[in-house]
């Protein structure tokens, strides 16, 4: 009977070839940070809407009660981040000490404020900038009681889930909540340093959120 044998060199060669084939056949498990960031932001916008729908802030004795509606505010300085809060004291920003205005992440229990690693899009995902479309950047006139100077960095929802683009620091402050009602699609664009950009769209009336990648 004829015997077959392999030398050590042949065995090493076979192992290397198998390893190369395995790497080529293996699916790419590298995460896409841009996609993950966009899905997280979309999810937190929906979470903000959920909080608004279960926590009605209407107060007939306060003409500016709607300033307390749950909102998500985006900020961009040295980093790009957002926070979710209810402006209880009407000061135009989140208060983490006196009123504990920030929302809590339902998965981790962490506060969704500007100091959270969860909401720091630049640090966590490499997002370099964020921009809003003109449809949700506020109105630049004051006719008919409309606010001026809107920057489009804040979105809020009412108790039936309708989206509003108002900013808490709008000048002058108007007492008509419908002056801030979103009437057309609001597009939020996230830009990643290497992966391109993604657009998150908030639709009027329903507040439906969708994500698109060019």
The predicted-structure confidence for 61-114, as pLDDT tens digits, reads as follows 988 888 889 999 998 767 889 999 998 887 777 776 666 789 988 888 888 988
- pTM of the full structure: 0.78
**What is the rounded CA–CA span in Å between residue 48 and residue 46?**
5
**What is the rounded CA–CA span in Å between residue 76 and residue 40?**
17
74, HSE (Cβ side, Cα atoms, 13 Å): 25
3-state helix, strand, coil in the chain (%, to 5): 30, 25, 50
Assess contact for 202 and 182: CB atoms under 8 A: yes
Contacts 24+ apart (CB under 8 A), 207-211: 207/49, 207/157, 207/161, 207/162, 207/163, 209/42, 209/45, 209/46, 210/42, 211/38, 211/39, 211/42
Residue by residue, DSSP assigns 46-71 as: HHHHHHHHHS----TT-TTGGGGSEE
pLDDT digits (tens, 9 = 90+) for 166-197: 656 555 566 778 888 899 999 999 999 899 99
Distance of alpha carbon 18 from the chain centroid: 44
Domain boundaries, the chain: 32-212
Q: Which of 191, 167, 169 is nearest to 180 (CA)?
A: 167
pLDDT digits (tens, 9 = 90+) for 18-42: 766 665 555 444 579 999 999 999 9
Mean pLDDT estimate for the chain: 80
Residue 149, pLDDT score = 39
63-72, 139-148, 151-160, 205-214: which has the highest mean pLDDT? 205-214
DSSP H or E segment with residue 12: helix 8-25
Q: Per-residue pLDDT averaged across 129-134, rounded?
A: 88
Residue 139, pLDDT score = 45
Mention the CATH class of domain 32-212: alpha beta
Q: Per-residue pLDDT averaged across 114-122, rounded?
A: 90
201: tokens are 């769209």
């Amino acid at each position: 009977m004829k015997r077959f044998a392999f030398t050590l060199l042949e065995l090493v060669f076979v192992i290397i070839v198998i390893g190369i084939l395995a790497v080529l056949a293996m699916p790419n498990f590298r995460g896409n940070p841009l996609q993950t960031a966009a899905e997280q932001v979309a999810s937190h916008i929906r979470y903000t809407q959920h909080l608004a729908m279960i926590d009605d802030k209407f107060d007939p004795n306060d003409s500016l009660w709607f300033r307390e509606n749950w909102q998500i505010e985006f900020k961009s300085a040295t980093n790009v981040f957002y926070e979710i809060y209810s402006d209880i004291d009407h000061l135009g920003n989140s208060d983490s000490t006196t009123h504990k205005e920030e929302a809590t992440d339902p998965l981790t229990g962490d506060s969704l404020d500007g100091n959270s690693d969860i909401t720091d899009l630049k640090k966590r995902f490499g997002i370099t900038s964020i921009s809003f479309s003109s449809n949700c950047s506020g109105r630049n006139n004051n006719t008919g009681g409309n606010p001026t100077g809107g920057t489009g960095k804040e979105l809020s929802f009412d108790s039936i889930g309708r989206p509003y683009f108002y900013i808490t620091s709008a000048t002058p402050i108007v007492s008509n909540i419908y002056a801030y009602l979103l009437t057309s699609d609001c597009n939020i664009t996230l830009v990643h340093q290497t992966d391109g950009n993604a657009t998150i769209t908030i639709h009027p009336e329903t507040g439906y959120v969708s994500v698109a990648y060019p």
